């Protein structure tokens, strides 16, 4: 694992952007993307850049179940607002939260097999989740329906009018799906991520801390701000 600690999220996001640019310069064609607050600065930097993404394909990690694409809370909506409307890609693949579970997840795996992910951007949950793979998810999991933990619901309720409106289930790439990416960039900012980061980077590799599996991947760059790095030894 390569560990990069920057003074703040802005500098960390600039570094992540440079890594994406470098990968694109070396032929990367497929970006795996995340939602949530962590990549928002990165997406702003991508939007404001003069880089052309029209030859690129994107594949998103996850989507809430039961929300249609045009719901303002869907990750489809988030990605269009944050990136795709300003920077058209050749193709954007996102899971359809309204589609049949079996068919949708199998089809998504086929899409990833046909478009191997060159660079996967990840955030991390305070409980160590990656994608929506909560603690206890099997390391050999592929894209599937997942139940969100109450802590995940609580941290995502800021985007909804009421906690009750936060979907309880999602479709998510599995751990094995994520590990199939050639290169992984994990970003984490803020002190509330410090303990998950310490466990992921320095703790045992265990399904109880999904991000710890990244220790087994051969090309992972972890980009932190100082607050997220504060518990590392
Ligand atoms: C989002 C995702 C999640 C988030 C994680 C951190 O697509 O897969 O794993 O990356 O929950 O969320 P934020 O960035 O909001 O702290």
Predicted pLDDT of residue 12:
99
Task: Assess if residue 131 is contained within a domain.
Answer: yes
The number of the ligand 1 atom at minimal distance from the alpha carbon of 75 is: 7
Predicted pLDDT of residue 226:
98
Task: Assess if residue 166 is contained within a domain.
Answer: yes
174 touches 139 (CB < 8 A): no
Average pLDDT over all residues of the chain: 98
Q: Whose CA is nearest to atom 12 of ligand 1?
A: 36
The domain containing residue 78 runs over which residues? 2-176+190-212
The number of the ligand 1 atom at minimal distance from the alpha carbon of 38 is: 14
Predicted pLDDT of residue 129:
98
Task: Assess if residue 221 is contained within a domain.
Answer: no
Condensed to tens digits (0 to 9), the pLDDT of residues 64-105 reads 999 999 999 999 999 999 999 999 999 999 999 999 999 999
Residues with CB under 6 A from ligand 1: 34-38, 61-62, 123-125, 129-132
* Alpha-carbon gap, residue 210 to 214, rounded angstroms: 8
Task: Assess if residue 183 is contained within a domain.
Answer: no
Predicted pLDDT of residue 2:
98
Task: Assess if residue 31 is contained within a domain.
Answer: yes
Token digits of residue 53 = 């993404």
Task: Assess if residue 164 is contained within a domain.
Answer: yes
Q: Whose CA is nearest to atom 2 of ligand 1?
A: 131
Predicted pLDDT of residue 166:
97
Number of domains in the chain: 1
CATH of the domain at 140: 3.40.50.1360
**Residue of 35, 121, 171, 213 to test ligand 1 pocket, by largest number of atoms within 8 Å of CB:** 35
3-class DSSP string for the chain = CEEEEECCHHHHHHHHHHHHHHHHHCCCCEEEECCCCCCHHHHHHHHHCCCCCCCCEEEECEEECCCCCCCCCCHHHHHHHHHHCCCCCCEEECCCCCCCHHHHHHHHHHHHHHCCCCEEEECCCCCCCECCECCCCCCCCCCEEEECCHHHHHHHHHHCCCHHHCCCEEEECCHHHHHCCCEEEEEECCHHHHHHHHHHHHCCCCCCCHHHHHHHCCCEEEEEECCCCCCCC
Predicted pLDDT of residue 67:
97
Task: Assess if residue 220 is contained within a domain.
Answer: no
The number of the ligand 1 atom at minimal distance from the alpha carbon of 172 is: 8
Condensed to tens digits (0 to 9), the pLDDT of residues 122-147 reads 999 999 999 999 999 999 999 999 99
Q: State the catalytic residues.
A: 62, 127, 129, 134
Condensed to tens digits (0 to 9), the pLDDT of residues 176-212 reads 999 999 999 999 999 999 999 999 999 999 999 999 9
Task: Assess if residue 181 is contained within a domain.
Answer: no
Predicted pLDDT of residue 169:
98
């Amino acid at each position: 694992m390569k560990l990069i600690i920057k003074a703040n999220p802005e500098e960390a996001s600039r570094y992540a952007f440079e890594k994406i640019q470098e990968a694109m310069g070396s032929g990367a064609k497929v970006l795996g993307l995340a939602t949530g607050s962590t990549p928002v600065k990165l997406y702003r930097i991508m939007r404001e850049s003069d880089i052309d993404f029209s030859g690129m394909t994107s594949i998103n990690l996850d989507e809430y179940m039961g929300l249609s694409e045009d719901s303002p809370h869907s990750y489809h909506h988030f990605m269009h607002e944050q990136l795709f409307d300003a920077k058209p890609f050749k193709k954007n693949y996102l899971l359809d939260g309204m589609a049949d579970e079996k068919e949708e997840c199998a089809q998504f795996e086929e899409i990833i097999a046909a478009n191997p992910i060159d660079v996967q951007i990840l955030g991390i949950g305070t409980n160590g989740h990656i994608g929506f793979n909560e603690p206890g998810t099997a390391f050999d999991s592929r894209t599937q329906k997942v139940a969100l933990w109450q802590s995940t619901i609580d941290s995502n309720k800021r985007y909804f009018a009421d906690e009750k409106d936060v979907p309880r289930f999602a479709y998510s790439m599995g751990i094995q799906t994520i590990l199939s990416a050639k290169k992984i960039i994990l970003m984490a900012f803020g002190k509330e991520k410090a303990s998950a980061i310490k466990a992921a980077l320095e703790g045992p590799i265990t399904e109880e801390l999904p991000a710890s599996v990244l220790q087994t991947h051969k090309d992972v760059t972890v980009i932190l701000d100082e607050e997220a790095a504060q518990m590392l030894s």
